[in-house]
Chain A
Amino acid sequence: MSSIISSVRSTWTIAIYTWRQGMRQKTLIGFLLLSVLVIFGSSFLTAFLTQTTGTDTQVDIEAKLLKDICVTTISIFGMLITIFISASVVPGEVQNKVVYTVLSKPVRRFQYLLGKFIGVQLIVIINLALMGGLFFIALYAKQRIMPTLLLWSILLTYFEFLVVSAFTFAVSCSASSPVLPTIAGLFIYVTGNLIEYLKDVYNRAGQTGQWFDELIGKVAYGLYQILPNLQNFSMKTQILYLQPNDPPKDVQFPNLIWPKLWRGTSSRIGFSGARSCSPS
């Protein structure tokens, strides 16, 4: 029993110190400052516009603009931070040989990796909370309504980051530098968001009857089957077009807590609603 407790404690120690080191890295702080700047800048800009022309529809349009900028910023900068951190934490310590010192302590390899992964999640969560918190305040200041929908969106965004982070981290464990896992992470992020296009490609392929046309169709279908659909985690359209305190549509809780993230095997999860409610 005491060995289990001490093993949990070691894992947690590694997580905490990973987090502490991560938060001191300049690249990370740079990303964070930049996103804070964008969120502040956009809310300031829209506030300025509102003052000059104060009609109701104007406020609506500007709130929409603010939301659009902020959601995009959080998603992109948050994702970059996530990929950067997940890709570099383990290869970094392998490269500078710190890993040998740590593993010479009473720590198992499994505890080390788990601790590192939890540490990465702490960094990602803190960053997301900071950016989301600022957006929350900016939005409240603009519309004077508690933007509870935003909290749902942030939660889902974290799940999206978690998928990409886990994948990047797994690749990074067998890489000797952060380059390969970074590319892998970006690949998952981009294709995961464009997955609907893959389906399109598959549907349209095979019309000309040429062999490579069919091949492309098959590849697209294969990718469509195995890649996660990250769009499922996006609430952007809901955030933009619903009231800030509306309840979220289509959040299926059992699926969120027990996420079947890989859509090939599972029924649709999460957020098909995000698309269905878009004003088309």
Chain B
Amino acid sequence: MSAVIETQDLTKIYEGAFKGQDVHALTKLNLTIEAGEIFGYLGPNGSGKTTTIKMLLGLIFPTSGKIRILGRKDFGSPAVRRKIGFLPEGAYYPDFLRGEEVLSFFGKLYGLGGADLRKRIDWAIELVGMKHARKRLVRGYSKGMRQRIGLAQALLSNPDILILDEPTTGLDPIARKEIRDILSNLRDEGKTLLISSHELLEVEMISNRVGILSNGVLQTMGTLDELLTSRDVLLQVGAMSAEASGKLTAAGLEIEDQVKDNVKIRVPDQVSVYDALELCKTQNVPLLSVAPRRETLEELFVRIVGAAERAKEQS
């Protein structure tokens, strides 16, 4: 495997008008994305995701650090850009162009033309479900329609690398599902994707590796299997008395969810599962199932970002 996107100590400081107002948007980011990976770039609002992406595309300049794309230092050159499709955050496209004109405009900038370009435009418009509105001015598009045209222009030149900045923000559930399907198809085709998002469920569904950013610092990075390894166990039990519930909690178990006679009890790593089962038995709690409990990406995210926030407040 070869690195497609590589950063070394990438740092961006936005200089403020006054002393002490500088924004440290990104601090010493070391990121490597291999060919064929779907990298989920996660972080709360203002954590520096868009800043990173803008630097990768050469739209803004790093304060310090290095970037290589496809192993090349001249990552902003037209030759490298031709291999990248980019969906910007916020879906801004020329208001006074029709949907299909936006695509032909960007297509021509990629060096496409003639029948080939027309074919690709038809294909991309069909793919994102914008056939009905292709002749309308972008000015009259809804947010979701703009986002769809945005995805179409990112895919138009059939690029090997796709950089998508919050592709599903502001979309309805059906559109989200459609876009997710498009993205998993791209994954199957072997494209390399960098997806910035805070829609954790979706990232969990399609990414194979994630990095979590908070306050411009990469807090953790790895495959989902590596990151979501908690050795907690989940017990599912039937109806139980208030007394039994009190005893269980006192023993260090956590009642996660209680719906009438279906209770989910989490057994933390430090409590022995056998002790927990023993306790259930003595309290006459009907046992339904015992299973390993994998942490969700959301829990990981909240835990890591929360810890980073607390560390920041203390310093």
Contacts and interface: CB of A to CB of B under 8 A. Distances in A.
Could you say which of B57, B58, B88, B105 has the most chain A C-beta atoms within 10 Å of its C-beta?
B105
A97 B88 contact: yes
B173 interface: no
B95 interface: yes
Contacts of B95: 21, 96
Size bin of chain A's contact surface: 20 to 34
A20 B81 CA distance: 25
A141 B103 CA distance: 45
B97 A106 contact: no
Interface stretch (B36-44, B108-116, B223-231): B108-116
B92 A98 contact: yes
Contacts of B106: 101-102, 105
Given A24-B96, A98-B93, A100-B92, A106 B109 contact: yes
A161 to B, nearest CB: 22
A17 interface: yes
Contacts of B90: 97
Size bin of chain B's contact surface: 20 to 34
Contacts of A7: 78
A239 B235 CA distance: 96
Interface in A4-18: 6-7, 9-10, 13-14, 17
B82 to A, nearest CB: 5
A277 interface: no
A25 interface: yes
B109 A101 contact: no
Nearest to B150: A101
A107 B109 contact: yes
A3 B82 CA distance: 13
Given A13-B108, A13-B109, A101 B96 contact: no
B101 interface: yes
B54 interface: yes
A105 B79 CA distance: 10
B96 A25 contact: yes
A-B residue pairs, 9 tightest by C-beta: A106-B78, A21-B96, A106-B81, A105-B109, A97-B92, A24-B96, A104-B86, A13-B108, A104-B57
Interface of A: 3, 6-7, 9-10, 13-14, 17, 20-22, 24-25, 93, 96-98, 100-108
23 contacts: A6-B78, A9-B108, A13-B105, A13-B108, A13-B109, A20-B101, A21-B97, A24-B96, A97-B88, A98-B92, A100-B54, A101-B88, A101-B92, A102-B106, A102-B109, A103-B59, A104-B57, A105-B81, A105-B109, A106-B109, A106-B110, A106-B111, A107-B78
